[in-house]
Structure 1
Amino acid sequence: MSKNWSIRKRRPVRRKNIAPLLKELEKALKIDLSVDGAFLEMAEYGPWKMVFVDKIAKTVELNNDENERFVFLTLRGLLDYPDSAKWIEVDHGAIPFLMNGADCMVAGVQAADQDIVKGELVWIRDMTHKKPLAIGWSLLDGKEMTAATKGKGIKTLHWVGDELWEMEL
């Protein structure tokens, strides 16, 4: 990511104003989001729209190259929901490269959610601890991802240690 983006148009929002976004996220990731009683804010971060829960960036709304809208959890959001769908599991050899923002190569992929479709947002986790490492666009279907032996599997957008991960409000 490594861009000179800044937070703009930060404002408090009510749960009912972002309820459709949360429902879409719950359906896509097969989770139950609970933000009752939390302080909710929306802001723009470059071209992305974000929802902050108690001053921590938890969701991101962005468009792909075809201008299709996608809603996904940030890595901090995924820490709260480790059973979320749309995951890719990588071995320890891939972790240092992912921490530097590299795209994920299929050689490091050990397992994948079989429901992943090419072109959608996915999250990458380590195979031992199941912790989120990065988020990116899937370049292959889930089944193809585990079967392939060389090439790129995911175009990385957000990773542990980038500006969004380090962001504090």
Structure 2
Amino acid sequence: MVKDWQVRKRRPVRRKQVAPLLSALEKNLGIDFNLEGAFLEMAEYGPWNLMIVNKEPHAVEVLDDDDNKVAALTLRGLLANNSEKSWLEVDRGAIPFLMNGADCMAAGIHAADTAVESGDLVWIRDQEHKRPLALGWACMDAEEMISATKGKAVRTLHWVGDELWSMEF
């Protein structure tokens, strides 16, 4: 899925202006942001809102199927801030497909956060190194993903190598 989106309305912001986004991230992913002395910016990227920290996109607000805003870390944000919530682990065979933007199939998933439910925004990591590979919407519950041998488990939104990953400011 190639996105022809442009970064628009990029502007510097103060921490208190992104406080609602930060509190949503802390609630959803259980992380504590340390943004002391960081240069914060907000921008629009298609229908998404980006939070840019020190010229790297670290967080994004996306719309779910009901047009509600959901906050998540980008893959660069996940690399900078370790999260132990809303994750799935895939085997080595799934990695090349995920790096090309494919949806994640249940056959490749070997472990998951047990709190993941269908419709949640989840991040996918590799089984060996625990590094983030993709971000997407869960199509199944965690137990179903682990036990299923076929079917789509995650609808991918953002992956290593896409436009958002390659973005430089």
Q: TM-score range, shorter-chain basis? A: over 0.9
Report the count of equivalent residues: 169
Residue 3 of structure 1: SS of its match in structure 2? coil
Deviation of 1:83 (Å)? 3.2
User: Residue 126 in 1 paired to residue 136 in 2?
Assistant: no
- The superposition leaves residues 92-129 of structure 1 with CA deviations (integer Å, 9 ceiling, x where unpaired) of 00000000000000000000000011101100000000
Among all aligned residue pairs of Structure 1 and Structure 2, give the percentage whose two residues are the same amino acid.
60
Aligned twin of 2:73 = 73
Instruction: Decide whether the 8 Å contact of 2:31 with 2:82 is kept in 1.
Output: no
CA distance in 2 between partners of 1:48 and 1:84 (Å):
24
- Can you give the 5+ residue segments of structure 1 that lack an aligned partner in the other structure? none
Q: Which amino acid aligns with 1:18?
A: V
Distance across 2 between alignment mates of 1:110 and 1:82: 20
Which digits, 9 at most, give the CA deviation of each residue in 1:25-78, with x for residues without a partner? 011101111112100000000000000000100000010121121000000000
CA contact (8 A) 2:40 2:54 kept: yes
What SS does structure 2 have at the residue aligned with 1:156? strand
The answer as to whether partners of 2:24 and 2:71 remain within 8 angstroms in 1 is yes
| Residue number in structure 2 paired with 1:102 | 102
Contact 2:118 2:140 in 1 (8 A): yes
Match of 2:89 in 1: 89
**2:146 — aligned with what?**
146
Q: Tell me the secondary structure at the aligned position of residue 93 of structure 1.
A: helix
In structure 2, C-alpha distance between the alignment counterparts of 1:69 and 1:20, rounded to whole Å: 11
CA deviation profile, 1:3-22 (whole Å, cap 9, x unmatched): 11000000000001111110
CA distance in 2 between counterparts of 1:18 and 1:83 reads 19
Stretch moving more, 122-131 or 144-153:
144-153
Residue pairs, 1:55-66, within 5 angstroms: 55-66=55-66
In the TM superposition, what are the counterparts of 1:12-51 in structure 2 within 5 Å? Answer: 12-51=12-51
Task: Return structure 1 stretches of 4+ with deviation > 6 angstroms.
Answer: none
One-letter identity of the residue aligned with 2:93 = G
Contact 1:78 1:84 in 2 (8 A): no
Aligned to 2:168: 168
Amino acid at match of 2:7: I
Three-state SS of the structure 1 residue aligned to 2:32 is: coil
CA RMSD of aligned residues (A): 0.8
Q: Distance in 2 between matches of 1:117 and 1:68?
A: 17
